[in-house]
Amino acid sequence: MARLDFPKDFVWGTATASYQIEGAYQEDGRGLSIWDTFSHTPGKVVNNDNGDVACDSYHRYEEDVALLKNLGVKAYRFSIAWPRIFPQGTGEVNEKGLDYYRRVVDALIAAGIEPCVTLYHWDLPQALQDKGGWANRDTIDAFVKYAEVVFKAFDGKIKQWITFNETWCVSFLSNYIGAHAPGNTDLQLAVDVAHNCMVAHGQAVKKFRELGVKGQIGTTHNLYWYEPYSTKPEDVAAAHRNRAYYNEWFMDPTFKGTYPPFMVDWFREKGVEVKIQPGDLETMSQPIDFIGINFYSGGFGRYKKGEGLFDCEEVQVGFDRTFMDWNVYPDGLYKVLSWVKEEYGDIPIYITENGACYEDELTADKRVHDVLRAEYYKKHFIQCHRVIESGVPLKGYFAWSLLDNFEWAEGYKKRFGIVYTNYETLERHPKDSYYFIQKVIADGGLDV
Ligand code: GCO
């Protein structure tokens, strides 16, 4: 048996997002977001579920904070719903919306937990979507205005700020694949959206510096670890394209102020151009204080003409899979974090999401023995430790998620929580994985 101790100042936390947990979708002046529209459109979400009530955290946030406190985390990552602050995306500030987050932030601070705020976790005001959404550059200005209001309202209380959550999902998943709101299927649109979001990120960072807001600012990208199935050049190239679609397409602009040229060429062959205006690349690559990485999975790819967008097919090599059908690839976490350091330097890294979906059963005595989820966490903690030992500046880890919640297009069927949500009574019940993480935090490490 070996003992793995984490650095004393390692930040343990959990994460959630506004639309996934809050509910109260029409309360206190909240405007509608693209997720209200999408989830209220029949056929878009499994079971036609929606976030009208979700976990009702809008009213039960104190219970959630108590769960966090009992878990022993140092930080909690949550997102602010833009349509609560600006119901129409721009215009008058809705103070009642800000008040809700004031209550949450104050409750966290009183419990000794550092609030980590995501400004954009996908709930774009519908009023802005009606004018073209992220494909319209006016949305960039609206975002910066919204960010400014939130920066000023919470300056000094927030340790970590994240501009965007998973720009890949905001762009390609939502505007090319069409699985998420607003549900478009247009590759040019997706590339435009990705670009505009990254410009908006950069402008928000500039505004943050200009205002002298306290705390640190960064962004969160969802990275995957794709490897070539063989050393054949065509397999290596195909797997690289697939990886770059998630990783380099977002990481290069953020850190290098460039797009990967081989991907630009690939898109151009498909008739798609990146529309860069003067100054954009410099704006996108504003220095940031840390990078947030959401990591769930990875895999192996090989060349196959006509397969997907990149002539790359995924090869099954016998990974365990979660209930989302995602490969469990803890080694991939080690590899991707090592790659980030190698490719982008010594930027402090936070895993802003990692976790797993499994089928859970609530026992008569209100327990959930989620052995597979606890094991998933353990395997990934081991890789976190290993990567820190190797010299990668990994500073913290946020488990996705504190509680079962609205899993976007998958509705409520897919549970990611370390706390079970009973959607009928809205009661919360900590699962075994919660107690596992609680012990790791209390012990400052784990025995393996
Ligand atoms: C994402 C989002 C989360 C998801 C989680 C599980 O990564 O897609 O940030 O909101 O719920 O990742 O799919």
Separation of alpha carbons 439 and 428, rounded Å: 19
Query: In a mutational test of the pocket of ligand 1, which residue from 294, 325, 373, 402 has the highest number of ligand atoms less than 8 Å from its CB?
Result: 294
Q: Quick one: pLDDT at residue 317?
A: 95
Residue 89 zone, left/alpha/beta (φ > 0; ψ -120 to 50; rest):
left
pLDDT in tens, 52-73: 999 999 999 999 999 999 999 9
Whose alpha carbon is nearest atom 1 of ligand 1?
A: 166
Q: Is 410 in the pocket of ligand 1 (CB under 6 A)?
A: no
Query: In a mutational test of the pocket of ligand 1, which residue from 18, 116, 408 has the highest number of ligand atoms less than 8 Å from its CB?
Result: 408
% of the chain at pLDDT higher than 70: 100
pLDDT in tens, 250-262: 999 999 999 999 9
pLDDT in tens, 149-181: 999 999 999 999 999 999 999 999 999 999 999
pLDDT in tens, 100-154: 999 999 999 999 999 999 999 999 999 999 999 999 999 999 999 999 999 999 9
pLDDT band at 33 (very low <50, low <70, confident <90, very high): very high
Query: What positions carry a catalytic annotation?
Result: 166, 353
Per domain, the residue ranges of the chain are 3-228+290-296+324-447
Q: Is 75 in the pocket of ligand 1 (CB under 6 A)?
A: no
* HEC per residue, 251-278: HHHHHHCCCCHHHHHHHHHCCCCCCCCC
Q: Quick one: pLDDT at residue 216?
A: 98
Q: Quick one: pLDDT at residue 441?
A: 98
Atom of ligand 1 nearest to the CA of 357: 6
Instruction: Look up residue 150 and give its two tokens.
Output: 């939130």
Query: 318 alpha carbon to ligand 1 midpoint, in Å?
Result: 24
Q: Quick one: pLDDT at residue 258?
A: 98
pLDDT band at 335 (very low <50, low <70, confident <90, very high): very high
Q: Quick one: pLDDT at residue 2?
A: 95
- Tell me which residue of 170, 3, 13, 161 sits closest to 76, measured CA to CA: 13
Query: 26 alpha carbon to ligand 1 midpoint, in Å?
Result: 23
Query: 355 alpha carbon to ligand 1 midpoint, in Å?
Result: 9
Query: 435 alpha carbon to ligand 1 midpoint, in Å?
Result: 22
Atom of ligand 1 nearest to the CA of 294: 7
Whose alpha carbon is nearest atom 11 of ligand 1?
A: 407
Separation of alpha carbons 50 and 232, rounded Å: 46
Q: Quick one: pLDDT at residue 58?
A: 99
pLDDT band at 393 (very low <50, low <70, confident <90, very high): very high
pLDDT band at 414 (very low <50, low <70, confident <90, very high): very high
pLDDT band at 345 (very low <50, low <70, confident <90, very high): very high
Atom of ligand 1 nearest to the CA of 408: 11
Q: Quick one: pLDDT at residue 185?
A: 98
| Domain 3-228+290-296+324-447 CATH assignment equals 1.10.10.10 | no
The mean pLDDT of the chain is 98
Q: Quick one: pLDDT at residue 348?
A: 99
Q: Any residues with CB less than 8 A from the CB of 332 and at least 6 apart, and which?
A: 224, 225, 295, 297, 298
Q: Quick one: pLDDT at residue 128?
A: 99
Q: Quick one: pLDDT at residue 439?
A: 98
